[in-house]
Amino acid sequence: MTSGTPDQGLRANLARLEAQQLYRRRRIQEAPQGPHGMVDGRPVLSFCSNDYLGLAAHPKVVAALQSGADHWGVGSGAAHLVNGHSAAHHRLEEALAELTGRPRALLFSTGYMANLGVITALAGRGDTVFEDRLNHASLLDAALLSRARLKRYPHADAAGLARMLAEGSAQLIATDGVFSMDGDLAPLPALAATSREAGAWLLVDDAHGLGVLGRGGRGSPDHFGLGLDEVPILMGTLGKAFGTFGAFVAGSEALIETLIQSARSYIYTTATPPALAAATLEAIAIAEREDWRREHLSALITRFREGATQLGLALTASPTPIQPLLAGSAARALAWSQALERAGILVTAIRPPTVPSGTARLRITFSAAHSQADVDQLLDALSRLPALDA
C-alpha cells in the first residue's frame, strides 16, 4: 500500500524534476582536485571547480595539514567560545585581518554559516535588508532567517537600489563581490556611496574575488581601491581560491566582538579542525606571494574569450575565471554538458533554481592549474557542440 504515503509524495516530486530536466545527480570524483581528474572511473579535463589558484592539492598545503594534524590532532573538540579556539585558529584570523587590511577577522565553519551569522546578528524584525537579485543563496537565506524585510534590487544596479532606498530606511545592503554564477563584478564604489548615504551597513561576500582580484589577492574591494570605510563588512571563503575549507568575516573591532557575542552560527557549532587553519595559513601565504598564479589565470581567461569569440559563442561581460555560456533552457544546458562529457570534458550544467528560470548555462571556470593547451582542448570541444546557435 503506497498510495498517498508521504514517501510517495516525494517520489512524485522527484519524477517531476526529472521530467523538467531539473534533477541533479552527483558525480563521484576519484582523484584530488585538479584539471585532470577521474570521474565515475573515466579521466576528465574539468572546468567547473572553484579552485581558482590551484591550491586545493598543493603539496605545501597538504604538508601543512599533515604537520598541523601531528601537532593538534584532528578534532577541535568544542565551539570557539568553549575551548575549541586554538592558537592555529587565532593566527589564521590575524593573517586574514592583515590580508584584507581590516582590524579584525573572525573564522566561521562555512561561508553559508558566515552569511547567516552576520546578517542575523545585524538585522532583525522591523529592519530592511537590500540584496542584489542575483546574490548567492546563503545571503538571501540569511535575510529570511533574520526576520527583517528582504528587498531585492535589480542586478548590479546601484541607481535602482538608490531609488528603492528613497522609499524607506535600510539596515544592511548585501552583495556578492563577484557574482558566483555570472562572474561579473558588483559596482562596489557606487554601492559603497549609496549605502553610506543611507546610513546602512554594506556587506560584500567576496567568495569568488578573494585570492583572485586585487593586490596579492586581497579581493574585489581592493580591486576598486576600497577599504574598511567603504566596505565595512567583508566576508570571504577559504574553500575556493585558497583551496581549503571554511570562511571568515573581516571588519571593525566592534563588528567582530558583536559577532562573537551574538552570531548564532558562530556560537553554536564546533570549531573546524586546527590543522585546517594551519593548512589555510600556508595557502594564503602562497596565494599572496605567487602573483604568477593570477597572471597565468588572466592569460587563460583572455585566450578563452578570444577563442570563444572566434567561434561565435555569446560571452558575458565577465572579467573573472567564471565564464558562463548561456543555454537558456535546462534541457539545452544539460545536452551541452553531456556532449562535452562525451569528449572527456567536465562542465556541469547550472539550472534553476540556482539561476533564474530561462538562464540555464554552462558555468565554465578556470584555474591557475590549467594550461593553455587545456583551454584549446575546451574550445575545440565547444566548437563541436550540437546546434550551438540554435
Contact between 138 and ligand PLP by CB under 6 A: the answer reads: yes
Q: Which of 58, 85, 223, 240 is catalytic?
A: 240
Tell me how far apart the alpha carbons of residues 321 and 301 are, in angstroms, rounded to a whole number.
6
In the sheet that holds 345-346, the strands lie side by side as 36-39, 42-46, 345-346
Is 237 known as a binding-site position? yes
Contact between 111 and ligand PLP by CB under 6 A: the answer reads: yes
3-state secondary structure of 58: coil
Contact between 209 and ligand PLP by CB under 6 A: the answer reads: no
Give the number of other Cβ atoms within 10 Å of residue 154's Cβ: 14
Q: Are 49 and 33 in contact (CB under 8 A)?
A: yes
Pairing between β-strand 247-251 and β-strand 349-350 as defined by DSSP bridges: unpaired
Active-site residue, 240 included: yes
Q: Which of 46, 76, 86, 180 is catalytic?
A: 180
Contact between 205 and ligand PLP by CB under 6 A: the answer reads: yes
Contact between 337 and ligand PLP by CB under 6 A: the answer reads: no
Please give the helix or strand (H or E) that residue 38 lies within, else none. strand 36-39
- Rg of the chain (C-alpha set): 21
* Number of residues located near ligand PLP, criterion CB under 6 A: 14
Angle between helices 372-383 and 330-342 (to 10 degrees): 120
Smallest distance from the beta carbon of 126 to ligand PLP, in angstroms? Answer: 26
Q: Which amino acid is at 185?
A: L
Smallest distance from the beta carbon of 179 to ligand PLP, in angstroms? Answer: 8
Q: Which is nearer to ligand PLP, 107 or 158 (CB)?
A: 107
Smallest distance from the beta carbon of 172 to ligand PLP, in angstroms? Answer: 16
Smallest distance from the beta carbon of 107 to ligand PLP, in angstroms? Answer: 11
Is 112 known as a binding-site position? yes
Is 120 known as a binding-site position? no
Active-site residue, 180 included: yes
Which span (105-113, 161-169, 190-198, 381-389) binds ligand PLP, by CB under 6 A?
A: 105-113
> Residue from 86, 120, 175, 237 that binds ligand PLP (CB under 6 A)?
237
Q: Are 96 and 106 in contact (CB under 8 A)?
A: no
**Which residue's beta carbon is nearest to the bound ligand PLP?**
111
Q: How far apart are the first and last CA of the chain?
A: 47
Grid cell for residue 296 = 597565468
> Residue from 132, 176, 182, 230 that binds ligand PLP (CB under 6 A)?
176
Q: Are 375 and 296 in contact (CB under 8 A)?
A: no
> Residue from 46, 120, 146, 180 that binds ligand PLP (CB under 6 A)?
180
> Residue from 53, 55, 140, 207 that binds ligand PLP (CB under 6 A)?
207
Pairing between β-strand 360-365 and β-strand 322-328 as defined by DSSP bridges: antiparallel
Q: Are 195 and 280 in contact (CB under 8 A)?
A: no
Is 90 known as a binding-site position? no
Q: Which residue has the cell 582542448?
A: 377
Q: Which is nearer to ligand PLP, 177 or 274 (CB)?
A: 177
DSSP state of 217: G
Q: Kindly list the distances between the CA atom of residue 301 and the CA atoms of 293, 337, 341, in Å, as whole numbers in the listed order.
A: 12, 20, 21
Footprint of ligand PLP (CB under 6 A):
110-112, 115, 136, 138, 176, 180, 205, 207-208, 237, 239, 247
Binding-site residue set for substrate: 24, 136, 354
Residues acting as catalytic residues:
180, 208, 240
Binding-site residue set for pyridoxal 5'-phosphate: 111-112, 180, 208, 237
